Structure 1
């Protein structure tokens, strides 16, 4: 039986997660394509098994500044999804964040998530922490939940440069101790705290260098961040999108990947660091807590600058740094994108009671 899966919103141009998740769809005879919110009513589930897969909720409410327009969009989208399900379609919702980062219209977003938790035929979570994290906001107790975490990026980004070449390309010295943060620059990522922590670390580790790369997003006080980075001697920065072929320079030049989030549920930065074999410094929150005990992971109390300084120092000091880096790479190799995709479709189709077509295999 051929199955059609339509997903929204389509962020695949800047985020490889969706293409990774659906990479083995053809193995189970699932045909995948993107759809816009406004096109839901055009779907015809009667023609074949049909699934709508909603990822981030931002285009429903958060694209509007006017609260009344945001509410109208929420009501219209929920009504369209209900009509789709009444026609025989299935709804799957992936919870990437408890609520969208730095969102507006808090009450509306809460209502939307509460409705989706009730309406979705299947709720997909990326980490065990999700069930606890969302409980104060909306309940998943009565939902059909499947868990499939974020895979590594193995094979998705160029990885051909040696560390010495990467450092030369970025103007870093061989004996620098490089702490990297790569990804969209948003307030929740804690980069000003990281800058303060590295400045303190330089008192005892004068070769410590901070490297920050990523495009600022909505709500980011770029001037304040620039001031914080200026206060850290020797900081390297690129406050813009990093092309795929240049990402390897930032990752291969680094000794440690820092993820000093003020709050977090899931993170693509963790599997990215694993892919490039980097030890990770992160708060004891969300998905990082789920990985507690991994040899490449150095956790610290969330929102503690003192704890962040200590974790960075430990990550740079340990004698077995090479072994820890190897463990990170092994974690990436153990869970490549293809494994995530196969596991996702196996769980999803099983939860929906759908059977792959005769050409499919798992």
Structure 2
């Protein structure tokens, strides 16, 4: 059996929830190597020894994670470019997945765009999760669109529970909980979400808001709406085994993001069976089936948002079942092993031709 090709995923933690999904069932061909620091020293050594190597860059803003000054950020960007340039000079294949429009936590916007422009030039293949990402990227950098390839974000079907538990869970009778879920960050919009649902609205519906997740910015998010006794702050890491029951116990999951290219949390919700309330943007219209579109609202429109919440709260058992089954049908098409096979085909084409497949 041939030795699998090493794919250096950088800068990516071994704890990444996303990247391992890309390799489901293709590990015998392509073995992911997770590296957060050190640039591409190991990849360069393998190339020097005559082995084929792929470098796959994700979340390029984290190249700047340890920087405290503009000078340090410029130095880090230079080191990254120099190291990745050597990968290219030695014949390595470079993939880049575009995850975010702007950095979530890290500043240094000038150096971030510098890294992004460099990656647009040097990458053999640029992976995007949807067509909107290509347009946003083209507005930021000089983009050769021939390099861009669509690789949808994989769903989480089969990651949290088996099929028997999943199907049985679709009949869960939800509480009147308006759910927020994920990393509790200011950028995620939880404060705005709570602000658009005043206590008078929540109390009159005999509902409550629950925010589940963790994050160092949680105190700042809580401070945006002080004294809200109708909000349950479930601030913790939610183990995978608890995710399905937690989300299905809510009438809906709200994605209050105002700037997003794709949403892993949306795919989690689709994969476990919960209605989604989200901003009406092309990314969500393309991802979600028509059955879920009545729960999309114009950005910043508090009245429309509250109408969506009322809609979710008023769903009958049959209506909710139809909606979540439609979401799940699409999530099944995005199972990790299906997306991994698509990625393997792109890797194969790049190895064979040296150009995008």
Residue 64 (structure 1) aligned with residue 67 (structure 2): yes
Q: Structure 1 stretch 55-64 or stretch 120-129: which is displaced more?
A: 55-64
Select the structure that is richer in helix: 2
Structure 1 SS opposite 2:291:
coil
Alpha-carbon shift at residue 127 of structure 1 (Å): 1.3
Per the alignment, residue 261 of structure 2 pairs with 265
Alpha-carbon shift at residue 251 of structure 1 (Å): 1.1
2:233 alignment partner, one of 230, 237, 245? 237
Per the alignment, residue 280 of structure 1 pairs with 276
Q: 1:232 to 1:181 in 2, by over 3 A?
A: same
How many angstroms apart in 1 are the aligned matches of 2:213 and 2:140?
A: 30
Q: 1:294 to 1:151 in 2, by over 3 A?
A: farther
- Summarize deviations over 1:336-357 as a string: whole Å, max 9, x none: 11111111211332244369xx
Per the alignment, residue 171 of structure 1 pairs with none
- What TM-score do you get using the length of structure 2 for normalisation? 0.87
How many angstroms apart in 2 are the aligned matches of 1:258 and 1:267?
A: 12
Structure 1 SS opposite 2:141:
coil
Per the alignment, residue 26 of structure 2 pairs with 25
Unaligned runs of 5+ in 1: 167-173, 356-362
How many angstroms apart in 2 are the aligned matches of 1:181 and 1:36?
A: 29
How many angstroms apart in 2 are the aligned matches of 1:187 and 1:178?
A: 21
Per the alignment, residue 303 of structure 1 pairs with 300
How many angstroms apart in 1 are the aligned matches of 2:68 and 2:161?
A: 39
2:92 alignment partner, one of 79, 89, 94? 89
**1:46-195 to 2 correspondences below 5 Å:** 46=48, 47-158=50-161, 160=165, 176-195=175-194
Name which structure has the greater RCO, CA cutoff 8 Å, separation 6+: 1
How many angstroms apart in 2 are the aligned matches of 1:192 and 1:301?
A: 17
Alpha-carbon shift at residue 11 of structure 1 (Å): 2.9
Per the alignment, residue 35 of structure 1 pairs with 35
Q: 1:224 to 1:21 in 2, by over 3 A?
A: closer
Contact residue 195 and residue 232 of structure 1 kept, 8 A: no
Q: 1:119 to 1:164 in 2, by over 3 A?
A: closer
Alpha-carbon shift at residue 143 of structure 1 (Å): 4.9
Alpha-carbon shift at residue 35 of structure 1 (Å): 3.0
Give the paired residue count.
Answer: 343
Alpha-carbon shift at residue 41 of structure 1 (Å): 2.9
Contact residue 266 and residue 287 of structure 1 kept, 8 A: yes
The alignment's C-alpha RMSD in Å is 2.7
- Summarize deviations over 1:25-76 as a string: whole Å, max 9, x none: 235x223222344151332225222110111113312321111111101001
Q: 1:212 to 1:204 in 2, by over 3 A?
A: closer
Structure 2 SS opposite 1:353:
helix
Structure 2 SS opposite 1:231:
coil
Per the alignment, residue 8 of structure 1 pairs with 10
- What TM-score do you get using the length of structure 1 for normalisation? 0.86
